Structure 1
Amino acid sequence: MASLPHARALAALRDRIEVLHAFSPSPERRATFAQAHGFPIAETIETIWNDPRVAAVLILTPPNTHLDLVRSAAAAGKHILLEKPIEVSTPRAERLVALAEEAGIRVGIVLQNRFRPAASALRELMQEGRLGPLIHASARTSYWRPQSYYDEPGRGSLARDGGGVLLTQAIHNLDLMLSLTGAPETVTGFATTSPVHQMEGEDMAVASLRFTNGALGSISATTCAFPGQPDIIELIGERGRAVLDGTVLTARFHDGTSLDVAGEDAGSGAGADPMGFSSQAHQALILDFVEAITSGRQPAASGRDVLAVHALIDAILHSRGQAVRVRTGAPGGAPVADYFEPPQASG
């Protein structure tokens, strides 16, 4: 399913990028893909690993296959652009990033929301300090997925996908928020599977956050919100407030100034059609990845960078209503025994 926006983006970037091979283990899917997009087809994956012309590979497979595929790509010396999430668990994600770094190859993660014009404008606003010190941050993902979506084999399962709404849908919005705010210090979260869906993973999650500077935050994520709406991020600082509503940014400041960025009419994928969005952000992400390879820098959404959102999701799922510290490399975080002050004596 994820191949469609990438194929469209690569077709639009044909003057910058040459697609040498496309491969799927299924001969039927290979034939359908070739007919739809016209890219050359490889009959075996070894054709890709052994082709010295191939500088990089784009991996658009289920999360539980990522570690083995990246291991093979790294051994072949290919840079990797990898669909989110990195892997089905934080430990496997960390191993993937480490083996790529040991091989000296670049790994970028497909989190294209970072590259929307309104998101870029918000990042610039934050870097300039126009909002002032952060005092509150919130991220809301209110999507709709019908039961037929989860009836597909493996979808929403722990073994194949690593979980539900957090790792599959909300990861885009959470990653974007963290790229603007940095990681929170502590998290208290709840996650559940509602009566709306029959699935193994969670379709609803909420969390409260506390950042190192004392700022507070909140997260909500669901695939039960019919008919679905675009992601929302709200940042409140000591000098103003900014709201990123899908592809539109609205910011108001205490000094009377304002900023409005009307994003592209790109769709959101928030409703029953998960692919209901344009490929414009994918084009920007792929170009950033190519420029990272040619210049020797890391991609904007590098594997090492994106481990932060995996650690946050891990902490939410393992919290079960208890405050935990968010620590990359410590699955689920660690309990925060001293987080709450003891109650004051009455009278």
Structure 2
Amino acid sequence: MAQHRIGLIGLGMAVTPHAKSLMDLSDRVRVAGAFARSAARRQAFAERFPFPVVDGLEALLADRTVDAVMILTPPDTHLDLVRRCAAAGKHILLEKPLEVTTARAEQLVAACREAGVTLGLVLQHRFRPAALRFAAMQREGAIGALVSASASIRLWRPQSYYDEPGRGTLARDGGGVLITQGIHTLDLLQSLAGPVAEVTGYALTSAVHRMETEDLACAALRFESGALGTLEATTAAFPGFPERIEITGTAASATLLGVDLHVQHADGRVTELRPGGGGGTGADPMAFPHDYHRSVLADFLDALDHNRPPAASGAEALRVHYLVDALLESARTGRPCRVRTLPTTV
């Protein structure tokens, strides 16, 4: 496999697991340069990691030996950066979510498609060993036909988290718990249970937080398969609990609790996987191992090497945007709302 040269754009809170992953995969990828607009952030990054920093984005875009970039900046900056990088012929691994509105997210995905570059999203819950094991069991028919699928996302963020400028706002983040924290579990849920077709939901800002967007949402779900389920998502559940996905099939019932898997088969067998790790559910959102970020990066590099879409592609990320939009629309109107399907051009 060829060694890729990559540019790193954005050196804030989210950079640490990505930098560690790049170090682990140094046989496959080399950092050509790391950029942030803030000189202080560039200096702090250079003191922690053995990668070169650059003081201008154009240097990375103009370097023809750089074939890919990782964009780790706030959501409201994504469309402009992706357009510039795609126009320069760079493949893109992008931190979630795609953008602050679905319209901008669709423009972003279209920009990559039209430029012929690969777009991958950092949706690392797909790469937890328990999720991979369950997906393999599904493919083997061990779960049977889907009957129901539900998710519970009960996280904790103190008010100080939302006091940081831009946090939990529509302008910078694009929303609250659903698109910022819940996106990982919503992506995993739909990757395992299939797209949601219709949702009836409620969403609000609880008495726990002072913020513009929702920190509490719940919904009834109807999947395209006809299966039913529920969703609960909040950042007001002190001290924070592992995310939970429960799936019932005709041959088994399964629970994904954080990084653990428990499957009760109809024939009496039990399948369990408890690898340990996890975290990030409490006051420190970065308190987790970087293993799953490394798997996201490895899958992205595999996609480039084998000319295939990444597991978490732009199209897969759009599915979450469509689900969140429908839930919030249902909350506003008090009526069930259909979830948009992916356009044929994606």
Return the TM-score normalized by structure 1. Answer: 0.93
- Alignment of 1:297 with 2:308, yes or no, is yes
- Alignment of 1:322 with 2:315, yes or no, is no
Instruction: Provide the secondary structure at the position in 1 that maps to 2:148.
Output: strand
- Read off the aligned partner of 1:184 and give its amino acid letter: V
Decide whether the 8 Å contact of 1:251 with 1:259 is kept in 2: yes
**Deviation of the 1:322 alpha carbon:** 1.1
Decide whether the 8 Å contact of 2:72 with 2:94 is kept in 1: yes
Structure 1 residue runs of 5 or longer lacking an equivalent are: 331-347
**Deviation of the 1:206 alpha carbon:** 0.4
Decide whether the 8 Å contact of 1:307 with 1:328 is kept in 2: no
Decide whether the 8 Å contact of 2:96 with 2:122 is kept in 1: yes
Q: Separation in 1 of the partners of 2:68 and 2:312?
A: 16
Decide whether the 8 Å contact of 2:315 with 2:342 is kept in 1: no
Partner of residue 215 from structure 2, selected from 183, 191, 203? 203
1:48 aligns with: 60
Alpha-carbon displacement from aligned partner over 1:28-52 (angstroms, at most 9, x marks no partner): 1000011011210011000110111
Alpha-carbon displacement from aligned partner over 1:173-220 (angstroms, at most 9, x marks no partner): 000010011111110011100010000010000010112332111110
Q: Separation in 1 of the partners of 2:161 and 2:217?
A: 19
Partner of residue 270 from structure 1, selected from 281, 305, 311? 281
Decide whether the 8 Å contact of 2:187 with 2:316 is kept in 1: no
- Alignment of 1:96 with 2:108, yes or no, is yes
What count of residue pairs does the alignment treat as equivalent? 329
- Read off the aligned partner of 2:291 and give its amino acid letter: Q
Instruction: Provide the secondary structure at the position in 1 that maps to 2:186.
Output: helix
Alpha-carbon displacement from aligned partner over 1:285-316 (angstroms, at most 9, x marks no partner): 10000010111000000111221111001111
- Read off the aligned partner of 1:279 and give its amino acid letter: H
1:339 aligns with: none
Alpha-carbon displacement from aligned partner over 1:258-292 (angstroms, at most 9, x marks no partner): 211112x3232000000000000011110000010
Q: How does 1:28-107 map to 2 (within 5 A)?
A: 28-107=40-119
Q: Separation in 2 of the partners of 1:148 and 1:226?
A: 14
Sequence identity (%): 54
Q: Separation in 1 of the partners of 2:239 and 2:316?
A: 32
Q: Separation in 2 of the partners of 1:180 and 1:202?
A: 26
- Alignment of 1:239 with 2:251, yes or no, is yes
Decide whether the 8 Å contact of 2:95 with 2:121 is kept in 1: yes
2:6 aligns with: none
When the two chains are superposed, the root-mean-square deviation of aligned CA atoms in Å is: 1.1
Q: How does 1:129-278 map to 2 (within 5 A)?
A: 129-263=141-275, 265-278=276-289
Q: Separation in 2 of the partners of 1:280 and 1:72?
A: 30
Decide whether the 8 Å contact of 1:242 with 1:252 is kept in 2: yes
**Deviation of the 1:324 alpha carbon:** 0.8
Q: Separation in 1 of the partners of 2:110 and 2:296?
A: 22
1:3 aligns with: 15
1:282 aligns with: 293
CA distance 1:136–1:329, shift in 2 (3 Å): closer
**Deviation of the 1:157 alpha carbon:** 0.2
**Which one is further off, 302-311 or 80-89?**
302-311
Alpha-carbon displacement from aligned partner over 1:304-343 (angstroms, at most 9, x marks no partner): 122111100111111123101101479xxxxxxxxxxxxx
Decide whether the 8 Å contact of 2:179 with 2:324 is kept in 1: yes
